[in-house]
Structure 1
Amino acid sequence: MPMPTEERVSRLVAGLVAGRGFDLEGVEVSTAAGQTRVRVIVDSDETADLDSIAELSSQVSECLDEADDEFGATRYLLEVTTPGTDRPLTADRHWRRARGRKVEITPRPGAAPPETGLPTPYEARVGALDGDRIALVLGGKRAPRLVAVELRDIDRAVVQVEFAPPSARELELSGGVASGRPPAGADAPGPAEHSGTTVAASDSTEGTME
């Protein structure tokens, strides 16, 4: 049977996810070794704890179960997860939630770097978002300084894993870590592809779909 499409799953769960106070960041559907996996990626302004993700996972599972008549009977494994640090910052809410975190930034081709002599890509700590401009703290612990960059001049930005806390001056210039987000420099080791909060429902006692 054909797999469920990412677009269809997104339409089915978007209202439920929003009603629980989360943003739907994406849906991924894949098949490996005969197992269909449906991955629903969500985020929110507050830290998504395991209990909240588990409750949402149960509700998403029930929502997909109700589509059995439409989809057919393809067995699947549902995974509800928050974004890992490899998720690029592409929306204003991503930048707001990343305040205080270190990011690797690749400038848009042809855009001038915020300072002469910066490598490409370069690292900075995220500050406050002001309209279409993002404040960035350059220089790390040794010589932290604040610059402002137009979002349109950034081609790609990805949060970096940190195991040591930033300096007090870096955090002061950035405005501190966004409310409800984990502290900078306290990332736990985890799989390279993801370091968010994940709940996987057991396969297909919760539902089957096409």
Structure 2
Amino acid sequence: MPMPTEERVSRLVAGLVAGRGFDLEGVEVSTAAGQTRVRVIVDSDRSADLDSIAELSAQVSACLDDADDEFEAARYLLEVTTPGIDRPLTAPRHWRRARGRKAEITLKPGVEPPEPGLPTRFTARIGVLDDDRIALVLSGKPGPRLASVDLADIARAVVEVEFSPPNARELELAGGVAAGRPPAGVDAAEPTGTAVAASDSTEGTME
């Protein structure tokens, strides 16, 4: 039996997710062992705790159930989750929320690094976003210092999981961790997608 498409699920839940103060970061639909799994990925500026994710999950489930007549028969398992710590940064809001985190940054071909001698792929702590330019805290000799790069000049950036507390001076220059986000360091080393809640009925029908 056909699966619901990611595009269709996105259209159905986008308004609901936005109305609850979340950004819809993506929808993934997969099938294994005859079971269809619908994964809705959301994020927000505030802390997305398990209670708020569970509440949103119930609402998303009801929304999909109300759309029964728009799908071919398909049994599904719904999962609502937040992105993992190490997800790529692809939008300005991702950079804003990742302030205080360390990231591996790759510049586009032909772009000059923000500091002489720096390679086009380097690690830096994310600072304050000013319009479309991001402040970065570089480490190593001669010590932590600020630089900046246009977002348009970045080919790829991925937040790194840190297993120890960050350098205090680096964090100060970065402006601290964004409000509502978990602290950098040991507490940030959580498995991907820990804030997860399945729908109230683990199997539903979309038609």
TM range (shorter): over 0.9
1:198 equivalent to 2:196? Answer: yes
Aligned to 2:80: 80
- RMSD of Structure 2 on Structure 1 (CA): 1.6
Change (3 A) 1:50 1:132: same
SS at match of 1:75: strand
Question: Which amino acid in structure 2 is aligned with residue 3 of structure 1?
Answer: M
Contact 1:85/1:196 (8 A) holds in 2: no
Contact 2:86/2:161 (8 A) holds in 1: no
Query: 1:142: how far off?
Result: 7.6
Cα displacement string for residues 70-129 of structure 1 (whole angstroms, at most 9, x for unaligned residues) = 213210110100011232111111111000011110111111111233244211000011
Question: Which amino acid in structure 1 is aligned with residue 57 of structure 2?
Answer: S
Aligned to 1:145: 145
Question: Normalised by the size of structure 1, how large is the TM-score?
Answer: 0.92
SS at match of 2:206: coil
Change (3 A) 1:140 1:8: farther
1:166 equivalent to 2:163? Answer: no
Contact 1:141/1:170 (8 A) holds in 2: no
**Percent identical residues:** 77
Cα displacement string for residues 176-209 of structure 1 (whole angstroms, at most 9, x for unaligned residues) = 111111111122342xxx24411123531xx212
Aligned to 1:209: 206
Q: Distance in 1 between matches of 2:206 and 2:24?
A: 20
Aligned to 1:37: 37
Q: Distance in 1 between matches of 2:142 and 2:100?
A: 17
Aligned to 1:56: 56
Contact 1:124/1:140 (8 A) holds in 2: no
Contact 2:85/2:188 (8 A) holds in 1: no
Q: Distance in 2 between matches of 1:52 and 1:107?
A: 36
Contact 1:135/1:148 (8 A) holds in 2: yes
SS at match of 1:10: helix
Aligned to 2:93: 93
Residue segments in structure 1 that go unaligned for 5+ positions in a row: none
Question: Normalised by the size of structure 2, how large is the TM-score?
Answer: 0.94
Contact 2:2/2:73 (8 A) holds in 1: no
SS at match of 1:169: helix
SS at match of 1:47: coil
Aligned to 2:68: 68
Cα displacement string for residues 26-66 of structure 1 (whole angstroms, at most 9, x for unaligned residues) = 11111112111100000000110000000000110010011
Question: Which amino acid in structure 2 is aligned with residue 203 of structure 1?
Answer: T
Runs of 4+ with >4 A deviation: none
SS at match of 1:112: coil
1:181 equivalent to 2:181? Answer: yes
SS at match of 1:46: coil
Residue segments in structure 2 that go unaligned for 5+ positions in a row: none
Q: How many residues align?
A: 205
Q: Distance in 1 between matches of 2:189 and 2:112?
A: 35
Contact 2:98/2:178 (8 A) holds in 1: yes
